[in-house]
């Protein structure tokens, strides 16, 4: 089975709002919200991959991040290994560089958005319990 390593950023503003992005419909888990990030390329560290992906996807420049957790999730057709980082030291406001919808959301309101199943432990780590 295909295993995909992904660096994920929980990007938090000083006021506690979190940046989320909506996956394009044609993608795996399309139409659901996610914490931005992307595949870790050969030779990259998770933080290097995260910095590259966040700059490409949402125009955020990561100054520093700290590891939050690692999740392995089996979707049946592929296994994703999510290396999740908390990023609260960054530059930029965030915008959908790839045409995706993005939002800054209060942490308590994250439960109102539909995320891929693999993201449930992230929400739990943020003390957000989805309905």
Tell me the CA distances in angstroms from 17 to 4, 25, 92, 105, one per residue in order: 28, 25, 14, 5
Q: What are the E-state strand segments in 12-59?
A: 18-22, 33-34, 37-39
Domain of 12: which CATH number?
3.90.79.10
Q: Which two tokens stand for residue 49?
A: 């991959």
Assigned domain for 68 exists: yes
Assigned domain for 130 exists: no
> The domain containing residue 119 runs over which residues?
3-125
Assigned domain for 92 exists: yes
Going from the first residue of the chain to its last (131 residues), give the mean pLDDT of each consecutive group of 10, the final group possibly shorter: 92 95 81 94 95 96 95 88 96 92 94 90 80 47
pLDDT of res. 104: 97
Assigned domain for 131 exists: no
pTM: predicted TM-score of the whole model, two decimal places:
0.90
Domain total of the chain: 1
Sign of CA dihedral 64, 130, 100, 105: negative
pLDDT of res. 131: 47
């Amino acid at each position: 089975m295909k295993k995909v390593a992904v660096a994920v950023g929980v990007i938090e503003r000083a006021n506690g709002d979190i940046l989320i992005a909506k996956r394009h419909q044609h993608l795996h888990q399309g139409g659901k919200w996610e914490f931005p990030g992307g595949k870790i390329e050969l030779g990259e560290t998770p933080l290097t991959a995260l910095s590259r992906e966040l700059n490409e996807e949402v125009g955020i420049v990561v100054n520093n991040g700290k590891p939050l957790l690692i999740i392995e999730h089996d979707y049946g057709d592929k296994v994703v290994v999510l290396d999740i980082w908390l990023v609260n030291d960054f530059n930029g406001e965030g915008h959908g560089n790839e045409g995706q919808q993005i939002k800054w959301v209060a942490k308590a309101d994250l439960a109102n958005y539909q995320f891929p199943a693999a993201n449930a432990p992230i929400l739990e780590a943020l003390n957000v319990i989805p309905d």
